[in-house]
């Protein structure tokens, strides 16, 4: 199904997407309509133009492909499925996602992947091709965040300040020549070893395939892996009364 979104407000556009019998949906002339594909499952939504905030919030399956940039809160509280952005995404992408995968070819804003968590049968993945803003992976409790720093000058960090603040689970992988400075005290950071690289091999290959970036290019810099030293960061905070 093909939808010309130019004259549609978000309610109407989302109603059409939800009620469409067709599993394949193509949106053209997207002009910042919010909440596209919120809570959707089992459909493939391909978007040309610029979807608005909260794209694929509570996404429960299926696929969203954006030929352009996504705005804030893409994949908020996402449970399953995949969001693939052929451009950049705004702030708070993947907020509290606990399943599914988000691939962003270029950069991503502040507070990406915060509150990401995993449970028994689900583990979320966020892969960013270039750089990220402040507070990447804040409060992260599970899942994988991978930042590739492609096109990032070799002497600069692809990740903004305050990365992994309050992180108490999961892993953050950063492709960079140097380790981030000023990491929080509870973070254990080290150069990725073979086992670490095996953990993200599949995601890297998928990124390579999706955005047509050669694996040799992706692997031509060191990866660092960040993990928390405890899943109980607040244990020492309290005195029982």
Partner 1 sequence: MVREFLYPEYEVFRNAGRCNSCRRCVTECANQVHYYDDKTGAMAERNEACVNCHRCVAYCPQKALKIIKSDHCFKANANWSRHTIEEVYRQADGGGVLLSSMGTPLDFPNYWDRLLLNASQVTNPSIDPLREPMETRVYLGPKTQEIRRDSRGRLADNRPKRLELSSPILFSAMSFGSLSLNAHTALAKAAQALGTLYNTGEGGLHRTLYPYGANTIVQVASGRFGVHKEYLAAGAAIEIKMGQGAKPGIGGHLPGYKNVGEVARTRMTPDGSDAISPAPHHDIYSIEDLRQLVYSLKEATDYQKPVIIKIAAVHNVGAIASGIARSGADIIAIDGFRGGTGAAPTRIRDNVGIPVELALAAVDRRLRQEGIRGNVSLIAGGSIHSSADVAKAIALGADAVYIGTAALLAMGCHLCRSCQLGRCNWGIATQVAELSRRLDPEEAAQRLVNLVTAWTHEIKELMGGMGINSIEALGGNRLMLRAVGLNEKELEILGVKHAGE
Give the binding site for partner 1 (CB under 8 A). 10-11, 14, 18, 34-35, 38-39, 41, 53-54, 57-58, 60, 72-73, 76-77, 79, 91-92, 95-96, 98, 111, 114-115, 117-120, 122, 135, 138-139, 141-142, 166, 168-169, 231-241
> 76, 51 in Cβ contact below 8 A?
no
State in angstroms the smallest separation of the CB of 21 from partner 1.
17
Minimum CB separation from partner 1 for residue 153, in Å? Answer: 29
Identity of the residue, 101 or 111, whose beta carbon is nearer to partner 1 in the bound complex? 111
Provide CB contacts within 8 A for 201, sequence distance 6+: none
Instruction: Please name which of 219, 225, 220 lies closest in space to residue 196, comparing C-alpha atoms.
Output: 225
The minimum distance between CB 55 and partner 1, in angstroms, equals 10
Minimum distance from CB of 114 to partner 1 (Å)?
6
Contact indicator for 145, 223 with CB cutoff of 8 Å? no
Nearer residue to partner 1 within complex by CB, 7 or 232: 232
Three-class secondary structure of residue 173 per DSSP: strand
How far, in Å, CA of 127 to CA of 159, rounded? 13
Q: How far apart are CA 71 and CA 231, in angstroms?
A: 31
**Identity of the residue, 113 or 158, whose beta carbon is nearer to partner 1 in the bound complex:** 113
Q: Cα separation of 157 and 163, whole Å?
A: 11
* Closer residue to partner 1 in complex, CB, 40/183: 40
């Amino acid at each position: 199904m093909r939808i010309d979104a130019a004259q549609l407000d978000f309610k109407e556009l989302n109603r059409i997407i939800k009620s469409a019998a067709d599993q394949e949906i193509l949106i053209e002339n997207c002009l910042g309509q919010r909440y596209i594909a919120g809570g959707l499952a089992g459909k493939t939504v391909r978007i040309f133009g610029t979807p608005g905030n909260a794209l694929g919030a509570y996404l429960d399956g299926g696929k969203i492909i954006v030929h352009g940039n996504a705005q804030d809160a893409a994949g908020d509280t996402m449970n399953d499925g995949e969001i693939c952005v052929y451009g950049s995404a705004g702030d708070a992408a993947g907020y509290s996602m606990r399943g599914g995968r988000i691939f962003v070819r270029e950069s991503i804003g502040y507070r990406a992947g915060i509150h990401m968590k995993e449970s028994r049968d689900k583990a979320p993945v966020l892969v960013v091709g270039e750089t990220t803003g402040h507070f990447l992976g804040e409060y992260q409790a599970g899942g994988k965040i991978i930042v590739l720093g492609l096109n990032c000058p070799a002497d600069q960090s692809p990740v903004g300040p305050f990365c992994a603040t309050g992180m108490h689970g999961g892993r953050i992988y950063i492709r960079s020549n140097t380790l981030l400075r000023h990491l929080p005290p509870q973070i254990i950071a080290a150069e990725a070893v073979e086992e670490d690289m095996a953990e993200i091999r599949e995601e890297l290959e998928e990124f390579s395939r999706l955005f047509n970036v050669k694996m040799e290019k992706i692997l031509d810099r060191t990866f660092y892996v960040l993990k928390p030293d405890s899943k109980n960061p607040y244990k020492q905070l309290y005195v029982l009364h």
